[in-house]
Amino acid sequence: MTVPRLLFSTPSSSDVTFRTLATFVLTPLLAGLLLFTSGCSDGQASKSSSTQARSQPKTRVETLLLEPTSFTDVIEVTGTVEAIDDATLSAQTDGPVTMLLELGTRVDKGTPVAKIDAEEAESAVEQAKAQYELAQDRFERQQPLYRDSVISALEFEQVRSERNQARAALNQAQTRLADAILEAPFAGTIEDRFLEVGEQAAPGTRLARLVNTRRVKITAGIPERYANDIEIGTPVQLDFRRYGAGVRTADVTFVGNTIDPQSRTFTVEITVSNENRTLKPEMGVNLRVTRAVLDSALVLPRTAVLRDETGTHVYVVDRSDTTAVARNREITLGPETGGSVVADSGLAAGEEVIIVGQNNVSPGAPLEVTDQFNRTSAAGTPYEENSLPTPPTE
């Protein structure tokens, strides 16, 4: 059987040459086409990514440029206004009340505030006076006899003792008579009346309360952890604005030496003038006691600080690229007062901290800085509209 030559023929040299030439020419063309297609795809992806980055909206923020500044560390507590001169006047003798000044009456020191019927006291004085005169007469008559040794020393001593006892009884009776008139121990105003005219008084019975508010003291409890920071002369800021008396500065005039076991505080007092009587006893007042003054501190608004389970952090502005972006920064906080807080670590002078809009950014987010502050006080204005003036430092 004859096998067809078409299937088993040996390729001619011209066929081999054509195939080789086709392979040599087509292979680079196919490779170039693939590279061109791949390059177009990568270029479009890169261009798409850049366009997406440029199209990402910028977050509008306000920032604070950190600069070292002075910071006053204060202790904020609540105190109470008390009158320095506040006395309850009580009867020292028996009898019905015959006079008692009305409420609101202002008196000077030594002015009679109340009077008690002194009829019995006057009788007691007359009786004691008669007995004393009798004893004194006897003493004077016995004295020459004692000098002439007519009577013994024991007899003369007995006469002298009787005279002395009579004189003491007279003094006591005169004191009781004087006690029938109750005088003001200091200048002040009648704030309370505990009896009415005609009622019976006895020794110790309260009659009236006398108060002088021309000078008052502010008492407050300071936490025991500050026991070594407060001393007499420490500056204090007193906020009386709720009573229309403004803000005053004064010094600590008394520091307690014991700790209250219930509140774990020690007492401080501040004395202030109150000539117009704006301040009244039992009023509440906010105190800012100066604890320390930091000469060079990095201060930022408290609202700029974010807190989470990892700790405290802020966002700073990174301008190293063409677009400003947000960077997260962990910080350690120091003392804080009102709306400001000191950054002990994590930040450096010259850095730009986001103080408005920080809750709307994330690390790497593009930013548009609408306002930049260089003072903490100015930056804190939106948050502390009713802030106090700078606390005293000396």
pLDDT tens digits along 351-364: 999 999 999 999 99
| Residue 153 CB partners (closer than 8 Å, separation 6+) | 146
Is the pLDDT at 271 greater than 80? The verdict is: yes
Using one digit for the tens of pLDDT, what is the confidence trace for 295-310?
889 999 999 999 988 8
Question: In the prediction, which pLDDT does 33 show?
Answer: 43
Q: Closest by alpha carbon to 262, among 318, 303, 224?
A: 224
pLDDT tier for residue 7 given thresholds of 50, 70 and 90: very low
pLDDT tier for residue 137 given thresholds of 50, 70 and 90: confident
User: Dihedral sign, CA of 97, 99, 105, 110?
Assistant: negative
Question: In the prediction, which pLDDT does 55 show?
Answer: 58
User: 44 near 255, Cβ under 8 Å?
Assistant: no
User: 328 near 379, Cβ under 8 Å?
Assistant: no
Is the pLDDT at 226 greater than 60? The verdict is: yes
Retrieve residue 263's tokens.
């509140």
Question: In the prediction, which pLDDT does 272 show?
Answer: 93
Using one digit for the tens of pLDDT, what is the confidence trace for 368-393?
999 998 876 555 443 333 455 556 66
Q: Which residues, listed in sequence order, are joined to residue 294 by a DSSP beta bridge?
A: 71
Taking residues 106-122, what's their average pLDDT?
Answer: 88
| Mean pLDDT (the chain, rounded) | 82
Question: In the prediction, which pLDDT does 156 show?
Answer: 81
| Whether this model's pTM surpasses 0.75 | no
Taking residues 200-225, what's their average pLDDT?
Answer: 93
pLDDT tier for residue 234 given thresholds of 50, 70 and 90: very high
Second CATH level (architecture) for the domain 118-178: Orthogonal Bundle (1.10)
Is the pLDDT at 89 greater than 90? The verdict is: yes
Q: How many CB atoms lie within 10 A of CB 303?
A: 18
Question: In the prediction, which pLDDT does 51 show?
Answer: 45
pLDDT tier for residue 95 given thresholds of 50, 70 and 90: confident
Q: Does domain 59-71+296-380 have CATH number 2.60.40.1170?
A: no
Percent of the chain past pLDDT 70, that is, above it, reads: 81
CATH topology classification for 76-82+215-294: Elongation Factor Tu (Ef-tu); domain 3 (2.40.30)
pLDDT tier for residue 175 given thresholds of 50, 70 and 90: confident
Q: Tell me the HSE value of 15 on the side-chain side, using a 13 A CA sphere.
A: 4
Question: In the prediction, which pLDDT does 299 show?
Answer: 92
User: 217 near 237, Cβ under 8 Å?
Assistant: no
- The residue ranges of every structural domain in the chain are 59-71+296-380, 76-82+215-294, 118-178
Higher pLDDT pick, 343 / 178: 343
Is the pLDDT at 191 greater than 50? The verdict is: yes
Taking residues 160-164, what's their average pLDDT?
Answer: 89
3-state DSSP assignment of residue 2: coil
pLDDT tier for residue 158 given thresholds of 50, 70 and 90: confident
E-assigned strands of 144-256? 181-183, 188-193, 200-201, 206-223, 235-239, 247-251, 254-255
Question: In the prediction, which pLDDT does 385 show?
Answer: 37
Question: In the prediction, which pLDDT does 388 show?
Answer: 57
Is the pLDDT at 143 greater than 60? The verdict is: yes
Taking residues 33-44, what's their average pLDDT?
Answer: 46
Taking residues 220-231, what's their average pLDDT?
Answer: 93
Question: In the prediction, which pLDDT does 6 show?
Answer: 39
